Amino acid sequence: MMFGAPTRLHCLATVALSALACMARADQVNVAVAANFAVPFQRIAADFALDTGHTAVPIVGSTRKFYAQIKAGAPFEVMLAADGSTPRQLEDEGWVVKGSRFTYAKGKLVLWSAKVGFVDSQGDVLRHGVFARLALGDPKLAPYGAAAVEALRALGLYERLASKIVQGESIAQAQQFAATGNAELAFLAQSQVVQPDKPSAGSWWLVPETLYKPIVQDAALLKKGQANVAAIALLRYLRSDKAKAVIKSYGYSL
């Protein structure tokens, strides 16, 4: 009897300390996520929570708008950009932890319509199709919007179609324009159209990568997250085979 109580107390204390240790390891990270990567990141964040106990909270938007928000003091700790130049610029300006940047995905541009059969396999709808509006992300804010303009110029169609272009703040808004019928066509990321858990809707054309500069998407640890174990763990997790498999399943290359 004399030895029973201390043993039970010792076990309870051990359990309590273990629980506290788990709580200490579990943390939350605020992530600025480029609009093209919103859906894949939902999958990755769910796996990340199950595998590590940490919570990744996404804030979705356009990359260049994030740039301005970060410089204005927004509480982002990790950035998943739609380009490589913005994280590099933030690093040069002292907002990103040196050496933390890496490429997590390489994106692909598509021309999409909510209408089945409207977009042909060669993208000739841009030259010969009858449409009133062509949606894309603001080229000044969204790298995929900039790639769309570059592709149109390479095709010799930008001046002809300029009056039909409607711009969204991000390609998520460009997709909304086309999905709701406010535009017949939209330039989007392939990840918005090709998803592993459901069939593609409408019709689309994969724009040849020779028509625009590579869309290299970089991740970075922001200075606000340098002491956050969840932020550091998330960047490590993005380089895992499990996360890479999810990224590839949405049409990105690595």
* Domain contains 139: yes
Residues 6+ apart with CB under 8 A from 89: 67
Q: Are residues 129 and 192 in the same domain?
A: yes
What does residue 231 show for φ and ψ, rounded to 5 degrees? -65, -45
* Domain contains 169: yes
Q: Are residues 67 and 147 in the same domain?
A: no
Please tell me whether residue 118 adopts helix, strand or coil conformation. Answer: coil
pLDDT of residue 195: 81
* Domain contains 186: yes
* Domain contains 254: no
> Whole domain around residue 39: which residue ranges?
4-106+215-249
| Beta strands in the chain, from DSSP E residues, in sequence order | 28-34, 55-61, 78-80, 102-107, 109-113, 134-137, 165-168, 185-189, 203-206, 215-221
Residues 6+ apart with CB under 8 A from 34: 60, 61, 62, 63, 66, 80, 81, 82, 143, 170, 217
Q: Are residues 79 and 127 in the same domain?
A: no
Name residue 242's amino acid.
K
* Domain contains 54: yes
Q: Are residues 24 and 147 in the same domain?
A: no
* Domain contains 22: yes
Q: What is the DSSP letter of 156?
A: T
Helices vs. strands in the chain: H and E counts, helices first: 11, 10
Say if CB 62 and CB 142 are below 8 A apart: yes
Q: Are residues 97 and 113 in the same domain?
A: no
pLDDT of residue 198: 76
Q: Are residues 149 and 200 in the same domain?
A: yes
| Residue that the structure tokens 């909510």 belong to | 114
Sign of CA dihedral 48, 91, 97, 222: negative
Q: Are residues 97 and 78 in the same domain?
A: yes
Q: Are residues 119 and 85 in the same domain?
A: no
> pTM for the full model?
0.83
* CATH classification of the domain holding 119: 3.40.190.10
Please tell me whether residue 199 adopts helix, strand or coil conformation. Answer: coil
How far is Cα of residue 14 from the mean position of the Cα atoms in its chain? Answer: 41
Exposed (0-12), middle (13-18) or buried (19+): which is 113, by Cβ within 10 Å?
buried
Number of domains in the chain: 2
Q: Are residues 25 and 149 in the same domain?
A: no
Rounded to the nearest 10 degrees, the angle between the axes of helix 85-92 and helix 63-71 is 10
Structure tokens at 14: 């051990």
Among the candidates 171, 189, 206, a domain finishes at 206
Find, among 32, 27, 141, 28, the residue nearest to 76 by Cα: 32
Say if CB 51 and CB 240 are below 8 A apart: no
Residues facing residue 215 across a β-bridge:
107
Query: For the chain (length 254 residues), average pLDDT per consecutive 10?
Result: 41 37 65 95 98 97 95 97 97 97 97 96 96 96 95 98 95 95 96 82 95 97 97 98 96 92
Q: Are residues 234 and 113 in the same domain?
A: no
* Domain contains 49: yes
Q: Are residues 196 and 154 in the same domain?
A: yes
Say if CB 111 and CB 178 are below 8 A apart: no
* Domain contains 158: yes
Q: Are residues 29 and 99 in the same domain?
A: yes
